[in-house]
Amino acid sequence: MPIAGASGSWFWDHSGNRYLDFSSQLVNVNIGYQHPKLVAAIQEQAGRLLTVSPAFADESRSEAAAMIAERAPARLNKVFFTNGGAEAVENAVRMARLHTGRHKVMAAYRSYHGATAGAIALTGDPRRWSSEPGSGGVVRYWGPYLYRSAFHAATESEECDRALQHLRDLLMVEGAHTIAAIVLEPVVGTNGILVPPDGYLAGVRAICDEFGIVMVADEVMAGFGRCGEWFAVDRWGVEPDLITFAKGVNSGYVPLGGVLISDDIAATFDHRPFPGGLTYSGHPLACASAVALIRIFEEEGILDHARDLGSEVIGPGLREIAGRHPSVGEVRGLGVFWAVELVRDRGTREPLVPFNTSGDAAAAMNAVAAACKQRGMWPFVHFNRLHVVPPCTTSADEARQGLAILDEALAVADEHTVGA
Ligand SMILES: Cc1ncc(COP(=O)(O)O)c(C=O)c1O
């Protein structure tokens, strides 16, 4: 759809149709569209200095790195900039391998890590299939997801314990000493907004410590306000060794990503070069926009707003909606990061449409999405789920407006439930 313009949480087409963006484009426009201060910061940097190679220092680059590291967990004090999320993941894995001298990496089913060779090999969803056989050395595991538990768990704490035991079992048979890194999305994004049970991230941290494995948190989608925190791991007070970020770091206004690096891993490269680099690493325009975004977030209290929007408006609103619609199997999330999982049958939890389907078989989901769009709300649809992922700056009234549209649109999904 050709877009004519956008402002705040809204965009519009050339026919004047306006849409409340409940998708934040690709879950990256965290500060909303055309934030005037962010636009001004980019314009100012454009007038000052547009490009220098990564080997040189530039004020925007140094400031962005310092500001990001100051807001990250205590031991992560260095930043390696990239142009996006996939490159961040590639470089995080390279760092982990060089730091440990090991090769294998553990990555979760129901995950997405990017579309470059290494990142897609780690990805635990169908987007990987066409790139197989990809790079070797990936060991795949199930993360916690109580609604569709791989461990037949009945409670969050059972799910947590069994998911951690599953990791330990895999390490035993794979040889823990051969594993360089465990990669996870602290709150899984596109594959379902899977919020981990309390204790899970701390449990993975403990396993990594026990076996000398690097813990990599992929916060490309979950970071920079999405969960109402700078980093999703802050919610549980867990410190990974490496954090990958992109998307929300500057609201996608200019391509930017990066890896936050712990002191231990950074020390590995004190006396040897890190064999990685990109022509546009730390591009001044991108870095200036990250600096401005962090300042605006703090000036405008956006983290608190995103957290409260989740706990006071979106969460309660979605739970109310779930009570009215037999097609809603589960709602879950935090901050401005929510999923509505649709089912044909609440008893069996059969998804409203089959896994990874398209065309006619996906008709029920397409019809729900169309009903949202007709009413002026742009949803994020993945498999049998609608994700409610508006900008962090969306007002409570706008959020309620979007939820009211979702409530109406779900009548279409109800028609596809068993017995309807
Ligand atoms: C968790 C996660 N990691 C990595 C990526 C890849 O980021 P990019 O598309 O910027 O390469 C994404 C993109 O959606 C993501 O959600």
Query: What average pLDDT does the segment 374-389 reach?
Result: 98
pLDDT tens digits, one per residue of 202-229 = 999 999 999 999 999 999 999 999 999 9
User: Per-residue confidence at 420, pLDDT binned at 50, 70, 90?
Assistant: low
**Which of helix, strand or coil describes residue 179?**
strand
The ligand 1 atom at the shortest distance from the C-alpha of residue 246 is 10
Pocket test for ligand 1, best of 25, 26, 113 (most atoms within 8 A of CB): 113
Strands 10-13 and 3-7: antiparallel
Give, rounded to a whole angstrom, the gap between the first and last alpha carbons of the chain: 33
pLDDT tens digits, one per residue of 5-57 = 999 999 999 999 999 999 999 999 999 999 999 999 999 999 999 999 999 99
| Alpha carbon nearest to ligand 1 atom 7, residue | 85
List the helix and strand counts (H, then E) for the chain: 13, 16
Mean pLDDT of the chain: 97
Provide the angle, in degrees to the nearest 10, between the axes of the packed helices 315-324 and 396-414.
20
Would you put residue 24 in left (φ > 0), alpha (ψ -120 to 50) or beta?
left
Read off the amino acid at residue 391. P
User: Per-residue confidence at 281, pLDDT binned at 50, 70, 90?
Assistant: very high
Q: What are phi and psi of 276, to 5 degrees?
A: -160, 150
Residue 51 CB contacts under 8 Å (≥ 6 apart), including other chains: 283, 284
The ligand 1 atom at the shortest distance from the C-alpha of residue 89 is 4
Q: Which of 333, 158, 163, 338 is nearest to 235 (CA)?
A: 333
The ligand 1 atom at the shortest distance from the C-alpha of residue 119 is 4
pLDDT tens digits, one per residue of 296-349 = 999 999 999 999 999 999 999 999 999 999 999 999 999 999 999 999 999 999
C-alpha distances out from residue 416 to 344, 366, 367, Å: 6, 12, 10
Q: How far is the CA of 220 from the centre of ligand 1 (A)?
A: 6
Q: Which helix (H) or strand (E) element contains residue 380?
A: strand 380-382
DSSP 285-319: HHHHHHHHHHHHHHHTTHHHHHHHIIIIIIHHHHH
Q: Which of 253, 172, 181 is nearest to 217 (CA)?
A: 181
**Which of helix, strand or coil describes residue 1?**
coil
pLDDT tens digits, one per residue of 152-199 = 999 999 999 999 999 999 999 999 999 999 999 999 999 999 999 999
Ligand 1 pocket (Cβ < 6 Å) reads 84-86, 89, 112-114, 185, 189-190, 218, 220-221, 246, 257
Q: Are 233 and 219 in contact (CB under 8 A)?
A: yes
The predicted structure's pLDDT at residue 135:
84
Q: How far is the CA of 255 from the centre of ligand 1 (A)?
A: 12
Hey, what long-range contacts does 43-51 have (CB within 8 A, 24 or more apart)?
A: 44/288, 45/284, 45/285, 45/288, 45/289, 46/285, 48/284, 49/284, 50/284, 50/285, 51/283, 51/284
Q: How far is the CA of 216 from the centre of ligand 1 (A)?
A: 14
Q: How far is the CA of 172 from the centre of ligand 1 (A)?
A: 30
Residues paired with 19 in a beta bridge: 11
- CA dihedral (94, 99, 105, 107) in degrees, to 10, reads -80
Pocket test for ligand 1, best of 216, 231, 247 (most atoms within 8 A of CB): 247
